[in-house]
């Protein structure tokens, strides 16, 4: 703003006249500042982009009669800057380069002439103004004020954007959590004849652990990684499994649906899946997952270890199913590595040994609660899933333990008659078959103890026979057609005639045979 000429009535050196002139100049400067601030503050408060900030800097330069201005933020020039300015280091403090210190002109953007340059730092960059010979102290003060306004406005803008991003992320997380919980629900339905308890505790809003039901299948698994990527793969897995169980070749369909996707994304998935039948017959397969525990009603444990590496690591040609019968009171325990990898204050993990001791000591219905109590002194950093499936303990069934002595064979018949109603068609053939198996275990395997668990389902007798004899798989033994009842393989012929299913597994130091027995169909006339 120009100052009007002073008309003196007396001596030009009059002190009062000089004071009056100084006051007029101060008023003029104050007026300039008021105009400057009045115009720029509302615009600064309404800034919505860095480009608007650059336009505001140019308008401020116009108000102080400066032809050119530029703004640098976040390491880049928001508006055009001449070559002599682009590579100049940022000022550490407000600086005025006097006339003669800098020339602008061809091949630059201004005419070739000396100019003063005003450089004002701000939080994320700096302001440059040039194109005139001199910057007054008041002008420098105004641009410093502008720089502070820009800092506040841009910080407010960044805060708004951060809040918007956070709100968007929260919305996305909530939607992802809803999708994840749809495929990994917090509750599952107990199948008929069973009691099911589930504890699902993700490490964050959603995790890589999952569990769901599909038809007569219960599925527990763990996708590598955490957070949203793991949740996406979990949803993909649940969908693929739903399709795969409808295929006659579940193994092939599941691997075909998932392996390539997981391998391309650099992820892998462990899986324990259980097909549950109302009569207590289960089919279990374990792909890379921690051992599934079979917890018998008396507290003894068996495990079903992984028969293949996790899906996504290597192409799987075939996955073995293991058959296991749950008799009344028996339970299947499934869990994720978040349980045994939890660490105490010294960094010692909970471990599989402590887990097995807990599983043997705790009643199946109380296992989840006892596990959570045991973890109070441990830090769980991973997703934690606990699932207990117990066969109804009130259902009728028999459990007896025989010594390795053939004199105890009458107890076999007693156990069968306690499990089957009088006149049951499977009673007599079952007694012949089971007696043969006990004799084999004691006489040929050297067993010192034989354990029988059995219950009836309709015309079927489901029996689990466990002995501590030498490893021997009678399902593959050679069968012969003659000889005494328990010699030369004729007894095994009886077992095969009576058994609708017969499976063998070596479990630690024990042989386990799982049989479904039924009275053989009568031989048709003229048949062999």
Instruction: Label residue 65 by pLDDT band (50, 70, 90).
Output: confident
Q: What pLDDT, in 10s, does the model give residues 20-60?
A: 555 555 444 545 555 566 667 777 767 778 888 888 888 88
Closest CA to 347 of 379, 373, 371, 382: 379
Residue 324 β-bridge partners: 282
CA distances from 509 to 189, 220, 404, 418 (A): 35, 28, 16, 29
- pLDDT above 50: residue 471: yes
**CB neighbourhood size of 228 (10 A):** 17
If pLDDT is split at 50, 70 and 90, which confidence band does 61 have? Answer: confident
Counting residues of the chain whose pLDDT is more than 70, the rounded percentage is 81
**Mean pLDDT across the stretch 294-300?**
96
Q: What is the mean pLDDT of residues 384-406?
A: 94
Lookup: tokens for 490: 């004729």
What residues contact 372, with CB distance under 8 A and at least 6 apart?
199, 386
Q: What does the pLDDT look like over 242-259, one tens digit per residue?
A: 777 776 666 666 666 666
Dihedral (CA of 71, 75, 79, 82) sign: positive
CB 294 within 8 A of CB 301: yes
Distance between CA 497 and CA 481 in Å, rounded? 13
Top-confidence range, 85-89, 100-104, 458-462: 458-462
Structure confidence at residue 423 (pLDDT) = 84
Domains of the chain, with CATH numbers? 15-159 (3.30.450.40), 184-391 (3.60.40.10), 398-517 (3.30.565.10)
Asked if residue 327 has pLDDT above 70, the reply is yes
Q: What percent of the chain has a predicted confidence (pLDDT) above 90?
A: 38
The C-alpha angle 440, 444, 448, rounded to 5 degrees, equals 85
Q: Which range among 9-13, 66-70, 257-261 shows the weakest confidence by mean pLDDT?
A: 9-13
Q: What is the pLDDT of residues 401-420, one digit of tens each?
A: 999 999 999 999 999 999 88
Please tell me the total number of residues recorded for the chain in this structure: 528
Q: Which position has the token pair 């703004």?
A: 71
Rg (CA), the chain: 42
Cis peptide, bond prior to residue 164, ω within 30 of zero:
no
Report d(CA 167, CA 378) in Å as an integer.
34
Question: β-pairing, 269-276 with 449-457?
Answer: unpaired
């Amino acid at each position: 703003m120009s100052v009007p000429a002073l008309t003196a009535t007396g001596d030009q050196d009059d002190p009062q006249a000089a004071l009056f002139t100084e006051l007029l100049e101060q008023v003029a400067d104050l007026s300039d500042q008021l105009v400057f601030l009045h115009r720029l503050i509302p615009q600064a408060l309404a800034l919505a982009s860095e480009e608007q900030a650059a336009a505001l800097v140019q308008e401020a330069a116009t108000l102080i009669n400066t032809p050119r201005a530029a703004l640098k933020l976040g390491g880049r020039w928001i508006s055009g800057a001449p070559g002599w300015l682009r590579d100049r280091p940022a000022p550490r403090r407000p600086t005025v380069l006097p006339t003669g210190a800098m020339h602008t002109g061809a091949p630059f953007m201004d005419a070739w002439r000396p100019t003063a340059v005003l450089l004002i730092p701000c939080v994320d960059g700096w302001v440059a103004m040039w194109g005139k010979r001199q910057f007054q102290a008041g002008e420098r003060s105004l641009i410093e004020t502008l720089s502070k306004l820009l800092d506040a406005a841009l910080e407010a803008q960044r805060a708004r954007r951060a809040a918007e991003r956070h709100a968007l992320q929260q919305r996305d997380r909530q939607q992802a959590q809803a999708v994840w919980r749809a495929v990994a629900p917090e509750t599952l339905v107990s199948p008929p004849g069973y009691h099911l308890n589930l504890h699902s505790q993700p490490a964050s809003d959603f995790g890589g652990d999952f569990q769901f039901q599909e038809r007569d299948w219960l599925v527990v698994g763990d996708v590598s990684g955490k957070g949203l990527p793991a949740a996406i793969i979990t949803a993909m897995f649940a969908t693929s499994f739903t399709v795969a169980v409808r295929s006659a070749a579940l193994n092939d369909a599941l691997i075909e649906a998932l392996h390539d996707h997981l391998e391309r994304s650099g992820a892998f998935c462990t899986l324990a899946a259980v097909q549950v039948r109302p009569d207590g017959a289960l089919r279990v397969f374990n792909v890379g997952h921690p051992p599934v525990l079979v917890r018998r009603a008396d507290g003894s444990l068996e495990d079903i270890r992984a028969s293949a590496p996790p899906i996504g690591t290597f192409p799987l040609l075939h996955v073995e199913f293991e058959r296991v019968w749950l008799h009344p009171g028996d339970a299947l325990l499934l869990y994720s590595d978040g349980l045994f990898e939890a660490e105490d204050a010294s960094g010692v993990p909970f471990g599989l040994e402590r887990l097995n001791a807990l599983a043997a000591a705790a009643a199946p219905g109380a296992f989840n609660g006892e596990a959570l109590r045991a973890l109070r002194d441990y830090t769980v950093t991973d997703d934690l899933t606990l699932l207990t499936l117990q066969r109804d303990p009130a259902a009728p069934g028999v459990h007896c333990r025989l010594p390795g002595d053939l004199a105890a064979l009458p107890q076999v018949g007693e156990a069968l008659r306690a499990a089957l109603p009088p006149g049951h068609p499977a009673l007599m053939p079952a007694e012949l078959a089971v007696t043969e198996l006990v004799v084999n275990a004691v006489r040929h395997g050297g067993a010192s103890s034989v354990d029988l668990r059995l219950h009836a389902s309709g015309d079927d007798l489901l029996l689990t026979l466990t002995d501590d004899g030498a490893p021997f798989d009678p399902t593959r033994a050679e069968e012969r057609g003659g000889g005494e009842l328990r010699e030369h393989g004729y007894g095994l012929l009886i077992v095969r005639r009576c058994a609708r299913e017969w499976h063998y597994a070596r479990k630690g130091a024990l042989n386990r045979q799982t049989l479904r027995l039924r009275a053989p169909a009568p031989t048709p006339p003229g048949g062999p």
